[in-house]
Amino acid sequence: MKRLLIFLPTIGYGGAEMSLTRIAGYLSEQNKINIDLVVAKKLDKSDEIKISNEINITYLNSKKTIFSLFKLLKIIRNSKPDVILSTLPTPNLMVIILKQLKLINSKVVLREANSNYLNWQNGLLNKIKGQIAIFAFNKSDTNIFISQELQTNLEKLISNRRNITIYNPVLVDNFFEKSLEEVLDFKKPNSELWVTTSRLEHQKGLDLLFEAAYKFLGKRKFSILVVGDGSQELHYKKMYSDLPITFIGNTQNPIKYLNLADIFFFPSRREGLGNSLIEAQILGKNIISSDCPSGPKEIVDVFNNGMLFESENIDKLIEAINNIELTDNKNVNKEIINKFSTETISSEYYSLINKLI
């Protein structure tokens, strides 16, 4: 049976980690392929997502991912995978270093999950990071991009044309059951509920939503529910304490909170695709999203649902809030939904692996 090794820095609640572990779980449980999941750093149990029992997990116990290079090499030599799949900049670089030094014989697939290229011209350090990333993408056997827009934009910078777009697996088997789970730690108020689910980081643009919200205080009855955590959490709580915001933090099931939304907001400054935006689309929610690179415009177009505003333009966000016409949850075409199912996406990965070996 074929063997795939997936290398990740952690298995926390990030979109990249959740996507690849879902794919790994499906392929393992369907007995399609042997999976070795190699993780550089172990997090607290409460911060790690649940992994299929069919997957072999090895932790390298490194404080920084880059320091685990030789441990990774040892595991690769022991397991002898046919294909190595990595995602995020540091893991991608490490695998390519081993490949270029001819220390491994496996085919190497790199996955780009974000619009990091937007920062590659901002300062010397980012320029260096950009050149390193371009080098890695040019030396891989195949690159996976999670939106067509992301692939198109990166192909302007790299010479490697062994590239493919594969969306993230957002629709899991129990998706709709999870969306109907009872919410015990939050009571929906008798007002419009605005929901956003994301990491609390500058990139995600929650500050733009909060600033726009001030324009509606006293004019519109609304509350904001934020699902997720991150480095900006304390800052946001202090800075926007006069807004009607509830912070839920990380949770095993963000979908049940998302399903409460009267309006779902996706105000990101940059993205790779936007998992929570897809979740909101599957549930037929009223949606306001930025038009940032790369992914949101594509998702709004695929589902033919949602209002786009110019990224980082608070006035345009306010305009969108004023103009949105609220409806009950829309019925969504099953064929469109299935484009993002774990089965569909995993099959695309399996097909790619078969072509490589």
Residue 99 has a pLDDT of 97
8 Å CB contact between 35 and 54:
yes
| Residue extent(s) of CATH 3.40.50.2000 domains in the chain | 3-169+341-356, 175-338
8 Å CB contact between 203 and 181:
no
8 Å CB contact between 262 and 194:
yes
8 Å CB contact between 194 and 222:
yes
Q: What is the pLDDT of residues 220-259, one digit of tens each?
A: 999 999 999 999 999 999 999 999 999 999 898 999 999 9
8 Å CB contact between 6 and 20:
yes
Which among 107, 169, 189 is positioned nearest to 142, based on CA atoms? 107
Q: Is the pLDDT of residue 46 over 80?
A: no
Sheet with 263-266, side-by-side order of all strands? 245-249, 222-227, 192-197, 263-266, 287-290, 307-309
For the CA atoms of 145, 148, 153, 155, the dihedral, rounded to the nearest 10 degrees, stands at 60
Superfamily per CATH, domain 3-169+341-356: Glycogen Phosphorylase B; (3.40.50.2000)
Please state which CATH number belongs to domain 175-338.
3.40.50.2000
The verdict on pTM exceeding 0.85 is yes
- Per-residue pLDDT band at 271 (split at 50, 70, 90): very high
Residue 108 has a pLDDT of 98
The CA distance from 149 to 183, in Å, is 36
8 Å CB contact between 291 and 297:
yes
- Looking at the chain, which runs of residues are DSSP E strands? 3-8, 34-39, 56-59, 83-87, 107-112, 142-145, 163-165, 192-197, 222-227, 245-249, 263-266, 287-290, 307-309
Q: What is the pLDDT of residues 13-35, one digit of tens each?
A: 888 899 999 999 999 988 779 99
8 Å CB contact between 281 and 332:
yes
Which among 64, 67, 302, 41 is positioned nearest to 167, based on CA atoms? 302
